[in-house]
Amino acid sequence: MSHGNILIVEDEEIIRASLKRLLERHGHTISEAGSVHEAELSYTLNDFDLIISDLRLPGSPGTEMINLAGDIPVLIMTSYASLNSAVSTMKLGAVDYIAKPFDHSEMLERVSDILARRPKVDHPSGAQSQNNDVDSDQEGFDGILGQCDAMRLLFRRIKKVAPTHATVLIQGESGTGKELVARSIHSHSTRSNGPMISVNCAAIPETLIESELFGHEKGSFTGATAARTGLIEAASGGTLFLDEIGELPLEAQARLLRVLQEGEIRRIGSVQSQKVDVRLIAATHRNLRQLAANSEFRQDLYYRLKVVELRIPALRERGKDILMLAEKLLDRVCEKLEQESHSYSPEAMAAICQHQWPGNVRELEHAIERAVILCDDNIITPEYLDLDVRVKASLFKVDAQLQHESPAQDGLTLEDYFQRFVLEHQEQMTETELAQKLGISRKTLWERRQKLGIPRKKASAS
């Protein structure tokens, strides 16, 4: 995570103090102010990497921070009831907005994303593409964890498509990380300095979706007491991410097609069209091709969307990634909950490998968080993960499914895991520490060494 010098402008002391503690725990340097006036008097705003400001403040509103900040990115906080106002701030130059009450992990993700993008603002596109390679590492790319072939292919395609203006369709099951991929495409695009507006089409009532996306004029329908800026208009100059686009009503699909074909929108109740410059990224867990064949989704829109199609593999298809993700997510959850380090029992590792994970990475993370909260010691067992266990108590008496797993499935047996863990950590850990981390006795550790032919390192060995 990039660490930054951040200013928080918030008049509610409890929220300000809580946010300050959260960000300081993750290595950021925090300054604070209770109003725009106090921030202007107390600090030189150009000294900051990011300003986080509430929308409603005593005196001048948070939008005034955007004018004062110049090139410094401003993240606006707002209540859900003021979401329309927040969208308007994007047009004024806010880099992003977040609804209160916000989830801590969501705030950290937004801050990390903004700070990661900031150094690239003044670089030409050639320098930006070089940074893409720097951002990738052995465990993943741009905050997305993955080592298997399917994920490495996805990372390569993200880097290729991001600098273009092409429309992207992301296919993947629920919980695979479609929004993370969309944010990565935006942050590595030439539009990274513009807004990214995310809309879950399944979360907005069908009667309101057109008004939300395209906006409306005052009096255009009952309840339209004022003109409203649509989310597509707010995303102009940046990226619009439409999640679960398969749930979009046919009428709204026709309007969206016009945006893609003509680059213009018309608010509900307006006779005038206006130009918009939006890069569209869509995502769905549904089969759009089948929906189009059944006339449940417009075929012309489907072909417009799938200019570039990215598929995120399901977690059960990712082989050795599952245990790597489980380890990384466990570290992340322990840090988030301010708990000391935990480890998995052998049975828990077997259960994680065998579970089908219909909710994918999101389900895995929730299961781990539940386990950390409920477990009585630092060893996580299957019952805390709330997973069915079909393995015997012994570490390596794995059931037939895991024992005879085909190499083509890129699976990782518990013996593989044991061997890898011991070889990687025996130089730094004692036998007691190794056994504790693996959740077994020292005697079992010695027996497994003998069976697998991994001799114990002598203390004097160099």
The string of pLDDT tens digits covering residues 6-40 is 999 998 888 888 899 899 988 899 999 999 988 98
241 or 443, higher pLDDT: 241
Region of 348 please: left (phi>0), alpha (psi -120 to 50) or beta. Answer: alpha
Q: In the numeric block, which tokens belong to residue 428?
A: 């730094």
Q: 104 and 251, same structural domain?
A: no
Q: Does residue 26 lie within any of the structural domains?
A: yes
| Confidence (pLDDT) at 97 | 79
Instruction: Say yes or no to pLDDT of 162 above 70.
Output: yes
Q: Does residue 457 lie within any of the structural domains?
A: no
**Cβ neighbours of 74 (radius 10 Å):** 28
Q: 256 and 294, same structural domain?
A: yes
Specify the range with the lowest mean pLDDT, choosing from 96-110, 176-190, 215-229, 367-381.
215-229
Boundary residue ending a domain (117, 140, 173): 117
Banded model confidence at residue 53, pLDDT cuts 50, 70, 90: very high
CATH number of the structural domain spanning residue 372: 1.10.8.60
∠ CA 249-254-260, nearest 5°, is 120
Q: Does residue 390 lie within any of the structural domains?
A: no
Which residues on neighbouring strands pair with residue 343, listed in sequence order?
Answer: 379
Banded model confidence at residue 131, pLDDT cuts 50, 70, 90: very low
Which residues on neighbouring strands pair with residue 100, listed in sequence order?
Answer: 79
| Confidence (pLDDT) at 169 | 96
Q: 291 and 174, same structural domain?
A: yes
Which whole number is the average pLDDT over 369-393?
78
Q: 295 and 207, same structural domain?
A: yes
Q: Does residue 101 lie within any of the structural domains?
A: yes
| Confidence (pLDDT) at 253 | 94
Specify the range with the lowest mean pLDDT, choosing from 100-114, 165-179, 281-295, 322-336.
100-114
| Confidence (pLDDT) at 118 | 65
**368 is in which domain, residue-wise?**
320-385
Which whole number is the average pLDDT over 180-205?
92
Question: Tens of pLDDT along 265-322?
Answer: 888 877 788 899 999 999 999 999 999 999 999 999 999 998 899 999 999 999 888 9
Long-range contacts of 232-235 (CB under 8 A, 24+ apart): 232/197, 232/259, 232/265, 232/276, 232/278, 233/91, 233/265, 233/267, 233/274, 233/276, 234/87, 234/88, 234/90, 234/91, 234/195, 234/197, 235/90, 235/194, 235/195, 235/196, 235/197, 235/276, 235/278
HEC-encoded secondary structure of the chain: CCCCEEEEECCCHHHHHHHHHHHHHCCCEEEEECCHHHHHHHCCHHHCCEEEEECCCCCCCCHHHHHHHCCCCEEEEEEHHHHHHHHHHHHHCCCEEEEECCCHHHHHHHHHHHHHHHHHCCCCHHHHHHHHHHHEECCEECCEECCCHHHHHHHHHHHHHCCCCCCEEEECCCCCCHHHHHHHHHHCCCCCCCCEEEEECCCCCCCCHHHHHHCECCCCCCCCCCCECCHHHHCCCCEEEEECHHHCCHHHHHHHHHHHHHCEECCECCCCCEECCCEEEEEECCCHHHHHHCCCCCHHHHHHHCCEEEECCCHHHCCCHHHHHHHHHHHHHHHHCCCCCCEECHHHHHHHHHCCCCCHHHHHHHHHHHHHHHCCCCEECHHHHCCCCCCCCCCCCCCHHHHCCCHHHCCCCHHHHHHHHHHHHCCCCCHHHHHHHHCCCHHHHHHHHHHHCCCCCCCCCC
CATH number of the structural domain spanning residue 32: 3.40.50.2300
Domain count across the chain: 4
Q: Does residue 409 lie within any of the structural domains?
A: no
- Exposure string over 127-157, b if 16+ CB within 10 A, otherwise e: ebeeebeebbeeebbbbbbbbbebbeebbeb
Instruction: Say yes or no to pLDDT of 123 above 50.
Output: no
CATH number of the structural domain spanning residue 156: 3.40.50.300
Q: 306 and 236, same structural domain?
A: yes
**In this structure, are strands 308-311 and 239-243 parallel, antiparallel, or unpaired?**
unpaired
Q: Does residue 407 lie within any of the structural domains?
A: no
Distance CA 95, CA 63 (A): 12
| Confidence (pLDDT) at 297 | 95
Question: How far is the CA of 437 from the CAs of 180, 220, 281, 349, 445, in angstroms?
Answer: 31, 64, 43, 12, 11
Q: 218 and 88, same structural domain?
A: no
Q: Does residue 131 lie within any of the structural domains?
A: no
354 or 392, higher pLDDT: 354
Instruction: Say yes or no to pLDDT of 80 above 90.
Output: no
Q: 247 and 165, same structural domain?
A: yes
Q: Does residue 398 lie within any of the structural domains?
A: no
Distance CA 38, CA 244 (A): 42
Specify the range with the lowest mean pLDDT, choosing from 204-218, 242-256, 294-308.
204-218
Q: 156 and 297, same structural domain?
A: yes
Banded model confidence at residue 222, pLDDT cuts 50, 70, 90: low
- Rg (the chain; Cα; Å): 25
pTM for the predicted model, two decimal places = 0.59
| Confidence (pLDDT) at 87 | 60
Residue closest to 115 by CA, chosen among 11, 18, 231, 27? 27
Q: 220 and 200, same structural domain?
A: yes
Percentage of residues in the chain with pLDDT exceeding 90? 36
Q: 419 and 339, same structural domain?
A: no
Q: 30 and 80, same structural domain?
A: yes
Q: 266 and 238, same structural domain?
A: yes
The rounded mean pLDDT for the chain is 81
| Confidence (pLDDT) at 401 | 36
